Chains A and B, each alone.
Chain A
């Protein structure tokens, strides 16, 4: 054994310079360090051994890409080079070298045969109006592509690029993309990989066509925005004599074991009788498929082949499936998998939710967590519960058909049924009037949460199994490390003693009952009309600071009972907006944690020109309120104190008065907003200027 290993390393070293071993990331992550039969099973499936030799790995079927369209999506020159030496031309490919004993003419014949599989008169390609590689770069690095593929050096995630040493496992390598694809064909693969690779090893991230084009442009290094000037694939006209010969070669080489080829007979399985003298050998005989297996892969395969009939537990099959499909690139399950340190920075989302706002949820106990129908739909890509995650759950197609059932079997446990719930109590608990205020953080259907934006829980009865939910609510952190969700039933004891006498199980059952059967909303959502928060000046003016568009972050609003209002810029010491009618809606200022920039509620808004970045000569010093509550703004202009006061005049006009010590300064530079009539009052004198603004 020891000798064999050493020998194996020697072979590896000689091979590694020209071609790497086939890359099966799940093997590399979980089995390479200690190769075992489970790793061997994964390889037996993922390298396509099972397609030739049969057997039941329990894992989703691994197939080669659909070749009936290959010459429309791949450049013929690339195909020639790839078929002639797959691993030499595409590092890490799982396609074995099948034609090692063939010459260039044979390879040419195979390419022409593939050309005949394509539909004769394809629809003319759509015009590509526009490309944006910069958008493509951002999408590639944030949508989830880099969970499997390597991030590139020209993109830095907000937390900074990882060091090379932080990658604990390899990435799924690309072929030489620009040699293989044009922008349209690569975009088609990006948008729907399942169309050409139905085995789901590259899943489909749902996206717009333009997104796929932009990603393709980025990956191909196309910086021009004009899609029409990008290089296009040359057309291949198959030669029928060559194609006939190619078909014979393909038939002999048993390509149809892995690829669906409509024009060649089905391959017969080859019984496995021995484990030497075949494809697992370091140097297989001519005519046999050649995999550049590394020693760990070979050890694992031999371990598996030694006892193929050994029973497999559902848990092992689940793990193998998650490894084969690389679900573990994003999800952790039972302490295994999840993105490594190098990949974590590329997972973005809502920082207000901490790590749970960035990283996909763990799959630990997922078969017990989600209702079976929901789990199946989630796997089929029909549910996206966490819109704040930039990374999207992709669609795997038929590859995950068995997974929901397997997970349910694996994760099931003896459940104690919850008592009957009380719909009214559930409504109260979810809400904020004497409940535990779930809606402070959680969306409820169409209604946004009151605080941070955690996921929608209006569907919790459809989505979650009661037993899991109970355990989760008692100790959220145990199920989702890093969650911001506190327990309102710490150690099983209800914090709210008032609803249902603090009975934990009945409270939780009631929350489920309201979500399932209840009508209406949990209590505490504000009325949809924000009119409730309208401020109406009464006897005295209302003075209020807020953020306001066209005024800035230091806005000081003054609402007058007369229906003429002002926003003063307390940063630059200048009036910024005046308006008429209704004054202001304080909903955003008082209610929203997210401090939006506000707008006046009324009409006839007139704005002063924006100040320069550097600001003017004025410095804001504060304000004084007089006995009637009217503020006088205090500014200094070049060191001279100036008092500025606004007050409604007659019939919807506004009077502006500026007062300063005449000895200190003869005149004052002033701006008035465009779009209104300015009349200087007859009582205006140097040292006290008075203007009347009139506007419709």
Chain B
């Protein structure tokens, strides 16, 4: 009996860490006790910390600054240690639904609905006493959905902010800069840069310092896109385009916005419109993308340095995105990564130790998460999962890079791979089905000498279409199937193509 008990315990541990066979485990730092404990009938102001995470950044002293939707910034000390030893202290309060926080020198920049605010603790007591306006200039109508996100710093030192479209009562998307992204400018100004956003909930720079943004499916937006933000481009949703007539607009559309046409056709009709670097197909990669963080863990988070990890609200999960430049523009592939988070994922941030912090809140929309809010941490066990590490476009197909050596027999079999491509309908409707779907034929699969790469030759690539791969037949050299056999490549350009 004595011997059996520890064995049973070990079995249970294996069961719990099924996630860990993929090499990653989720540790809870703090979550609400129920799906809406932040807002339940028994909760009162002062009843404790409702960690509805809406922004995160690390301070030089190792503390984690966490903005929460209720309007506070908390400092969490010891967040990379034992969860029950984390110390929480209130740094700032009374903010209007801040949705981002970023350390800048001795201060924290937080984006409230109305402005970016610079918070400083001038007397060293650990609590901010200075709340100075750092950037403003966008209209605030009072519509509930008039959210403002950011700031995030790009490689050139610019601070990016993104502004949600208004929705619901009091909406005024003709007023300044709703649905635009821009920079914090001199003298507390907002410098508009890019138009065509709907719900640009998360911003983040890649390893090269270019700024990206994740938008969400909705009107005019067929499925969650990730954009490469730049000056003078238009992405997808034209509901806030009226601001192009303002004197400081960096862009004016030269053609009418098309409607109810396949997305590639819309792109051809509207010269200023640029495609997302990556589409996250609806349901397959979740429903509402919320944030992205580039992995620079130096191998401490598995073999994914330089890739984006993308938060998702409805399914409470995190996806993974590989980008490459083809013809000077970013494009790439999305892969499922990890699900089972406690609440709708709103923010993701890599910690200095290479673990991934995941901040959550499910208030207002439904999520598969079973808690109202919280903070969790994803750690890599050191066991490399068998995954498609990269998917690269080739003139006549794709090159797959695997995280581990493949079994040459299964990987060289064309039948181990299924590919189809599709696009979306660009229209004012809410989201789009996949349209114009075609199956593609994999004519050959050649395994590299080191067993880590497979070159797929494919008939029928279509530029601007999402190419969905299912590599269900591939096995690792050790005989394991892929943890996630699916990959979604957004083939804006075929290398060597026009």
Taken together as a complex, chains A and B put the C-alpha atoms of A160 and B258 apart, in Å, by: 12
- Contact check, A593 vs B94: say whether CB atoms are below 8 A apart: no
- Indicate whether B410 reaches chain A with its CB closer than 8 angstroms: no
Q: Which residues in B have their C-beta under 8 angstroms from that of A592?
A: 144
Chain A proximity of B185: nearest CB distance (Å): 15
Q: Which residues of B have CB within 8 Å of A535?
A: 45
For residue A621, which residue of chain B has the nearest CB? Answer: B133
Option from B43, B117, B287, B366 in Cβ contact (under 8 Å) with A440 = B366
B44 touches A533 (CB 8 A): yes
- For residue A80, CB closer than 8 A to chain B, the reply is no
Closest Cβ of chain B to A645, distance in Å, is 14
Known A-B contacts A440-B35, A451-B365; the reply to A622 vs B140 at CB < 8 A is: no
On chain B, the number of residues with a Cβ less than 8 Å from chain A's Cβ atoms is: 60
Give the distance to chain B from A447, nearest Cβ to Cβ, in Å. 11
Interface centre among A436, A490, A526, A547 (most CB of B within 10 A): A547
Flag if B141 contacts A553 (CB, 8 Å): yes
> Nearest A residue to B112 by beta-carbon distance?
A545
> In the bound complex, how far is the Cα of B367 from the Cα of A485, in angstroms?
9
Closest to A590 in B: B70
| Complex interface: chain B residues within 8 A of A589 (CB) | 71
- Asked whether B36 lies within 8 Å of A450 as measured between CB atoms, the reply is yes
Question: When A341-B260, A595-B144 are in contact, do A437 and B35 touch as well, CB less than 8 Å?
Answer: yes
> Which of the residues A159, A486, A595, A621 comes within 8 Å of B367, measured between beta carbons?
A486
Contact A354-B430, Cβ < 8 Å, known A432-B40, A440-B35, A553-B113: yes
Residue contact A355 to B96, C-beta cutoff 8 Å: no
> By the criterion CB–CB under 8 Å, are B70 and A352 in contact?
no
Chain A min CB distance to B238 (Å): 11
In the complex, A490→B368 CA distance in Å?
A: 10
Residue of A nearest to B282 (CB): A477
Q: Check B364–A593 contact: CB distance below 8 A.
A: yes
B167 at the interface (CB under 8 A from A): yes
- Interchain CB contact under 8 A, A351 and B132: no
Could you say which of A159, A526, A543, A586 contacts B428, with CB atoms under 8 Å apart? Answer: A159
Indicate whether A488 reaches chain B with its CB closer than 8 angstroms. yes
B residues within 8 A CB of A621?
Answer: 132-133, 188
**Which residues of the partner chain B approach A597 to less than 8 Å between Cβ atoms?**
142
Interface pair A432/B34, CB less than 8 Å apart: yes
A542: chain B residues within 8 A (beta carbon):
94
The chain B residue with its CB closest to the CB of A166 is B260
A441 contacts across to B, CB distance below 8 A: 366
A484→B112 CA distance, assembly (Å):
27
A260 within 8 A of B: no
Q: Which residues of A contact B287 (CB under 8 A)?
A: 486
| Docked complex Cα distance between A523 and B169 (Å) | 29
Chain B 96-134 near chain A by CB (<8 Å), digits 1 or 0: 100000000000000011110110001100001111110
Q: Do A496 and B370 contact each other (CB < 8 Å), given the known contacts A543-B94, A554-B114?
A: yes
**CB interface residues, A 119-175, toward B, < 8 Å:** 159-160
Cβ of B314 < 8 Å from any Cβ of A?
yes
Within the assembled complex, what's the spacing in Å between the Cα atoms of A490 and B96? 36
Is there a chain B Cβ closer than 8 Å to A695's Cβ?
Answer: no
Question: In the complex, A542 Cα to B72 Cα: how many Å?
Answer: 12
Contact among B123, B168, B219, B365 with A594 in the assembled complex (CB-CB below 8 Å): B168
Interchain CA distance A631-B348 in the complex, whole Å: 33
Is A608 at the interface (CB under 8 A from chain B)? no
Bound complex: CA A477 to CA B282 (Å)? 12
Contact A524-B36, Cβ < 8 Å, known A354-B430, A484-B366, A621-B133: yes
Residues of B within 8 A of A586 (CB): 45
Q: Is B17 in the interface zone, CB < 8 Å from A?
A: no
With a cutoff of 8 Å between Cβ atoms, the chain A residues found around residue B93 in the complex are 543-544
Q: Is A374 an interface residue (CB 8 A)?
A: no
Q: If A440-B35, A621-B132, A622-B117 touch, does A593 touch B144 (CB 8 Å cutoff)?
A: yes
A451 contacts B168, C-beta separation under 8 Å: no
Q: Tell me whether A591 and B41 are in contact (CB under 8 A).
A: no
Quick check: A553 and B140 within 8 Å, CB to CB? yes
- For A532, the chain B residues whose CB sits under 8 A away are 41, 43-44
CB <8 Å contact, A593 and B132: no
A545, closest chain B residue (CB): B96
Return chain A residues, CB-CB under 8 Å to B354. none
Partner of A546, one of B44, B96, B133, B366: B96
Cβ-neighbour of B363 out of A355, A451, A547 (below 8 A): A451
Known: A451-B366, A526-B40. A624 touches B114 (CB 8 A): no
Interface string of B356-387 (1 = CB under 8 A from A): 00000011111110101000000000000000
* Distance, CA A298 to CA B34, complexed state (A): 66
Shortest Cβ gap from B454 to chain A (Å): 30
User: Which chain B positions have C-beta within 8 A of A525?
Assistant: 41
Instruction: Report whether A432 and B368 are in contact in the complex, using a CB–CB cutoff of 8 Å.
Output: no
CA distance A527 to B431 in the complex (A): 36
Judge whether B437 is part of the interface by a CB distance below 8 angstroms.
no
Question: Given A440-B35, A545-B95, does the pair A351, B167 have CB atoms closer than 8 Å?
Answer: yes
The answer to whether A571 has its CB under 8 Å from any CB of chain B is yes
In the bound complex, how far is the Cα of B140 from the Cα of A620, in angstroms?
15
Q: Are B40 and A433 in contact, CB atoms less than 8 angstroms apart?
A: yes
Asked whether A435 is an interface residue with its Cβ less than 8 Å from the other chain, the reply is yes
Candidate in A351, A525, A621, A627 with the most chain B CB atoms within 10 angstroms: A351
The answer to whether A544 and B364 touch across the interface, beta carbons within 8 angstroms, is no
**B117 — which chain A residues lie within 8 A by C-beta?**
622
* Residue in contact with B39 in the complex, picked from A450, A495, A594, CB distance below 8 Å: A450
Q: Are B40 and A622 in contact (CB under 8 A)?
A: no
Chain B residues numbered 130-158 whose CB sits less than 8 Å from any CB in chain A: 130-133, 140-144
CB distance from A359 to the nearest CB of B (A): 11
Is B259 in contact with chain A by the CB < 8 A criterion? yes
Closest Cβ neighbor of A531 among chain B residues: B44
Interface string of A426-458 (1 = CB under 8 A from B): 000000111111001100000000111000000
B37 at the interface (CB under 8 A from A): yes
A398 within 8 A of partner (CB): no
**C-alpha gap A680/B272 in the complex (Å):** 59
A472 CB within 8 Å of chain B:
no
B429: CB under 8 A from chain A?
yes
Set A436, A544, A554: member contacting B71, Cβ < 8 A: A544
Q: Is the CB of A553 within 8 A of B142?
A: yes
Shortest Cβ distance from B32 into chain A, in angstroms?
10
A25 CB within 8 Å of chain B: no
- How far apart are the CA atoms of A435 and B132 in the complex, in Å? 42
A623 within 8 A of B: yes
Residue of A nearest to B147 (CB): A595
Question: In the complex the two chains form, what is the Cα distance from A488 to B41 in whole Å?
Answer: 23
Q: Closest CB of chain A to B325's CB: distance in Å? A: 35
> Interface readout for B28-59 with A: 1 if CB under 8 Å, 0 if not?
00000111110111011100000000000000
Pick from A434, A527, A547, A624: contact of B34, CB under 8 Å: A434
Query: In the complex, what distance in Å separates the CA atom of A477 from the CA atom of B37?
Result: 28
A536, chain B: closest CB distance, angstroms: 8
Closest A residue to B122 by CB, please name it: A624
The reply to whether the CB of A38 lies closer than 8 angstroms to some CB of chain B is no
Q: State whether B34 touches A595 (Cβ < 8 A).
A: no
Q: Is the CB of A526 within 8 A of B368?
A: no
What chain B residues lie within 8 Å of A545 (beta carbons)? Answer: 71, 94-96, 112-114
Q: Is the CB of A351 within 8 A of B168?
A: yes
Across the A-B interface, the 9 shortest Cβ-Cβ residue pairs: A622-B132, A545-B96, A432-B36, A595-B144, A593-B364, A543-B94, A553-B140, A437-B35, A544-B94
Given A486-B287, A594-B168, list of 18 further CB < 8 A pairs? A159-B428, A351-B430, A440-B35, A452-B365, A477-B283, A484-B366, A486-B368, A524-B34, A524-B36, A532-B43, A532-B44, A535-B45, A545-B71, A546-B96, A553-B113, A554-B114, A554-B140, A597-B142
Instruction: Give 16 pairs: A residue, B residue, CB < 8 Å, sorted on A.
Output: A351-B430, A436-B370, A440-B362, A450-B36, A486-B368, A496-B370, A524-B40, A527-B41, A533-B44, A543-B94, A545-B71, A591-B39, A595-B143, A622-B131, A624-B129, A631-B131
A-contacting residues of B (Cβ < 8 Å)?
33-37, 39-41, 43-45, 70-71, 93-96, 112-115, 117-118, 122-123, 128-133, 140-144, 167-169, 188, 219, 259-260, 283, 287, 314-315, 362-368, 370, 372, 428-431
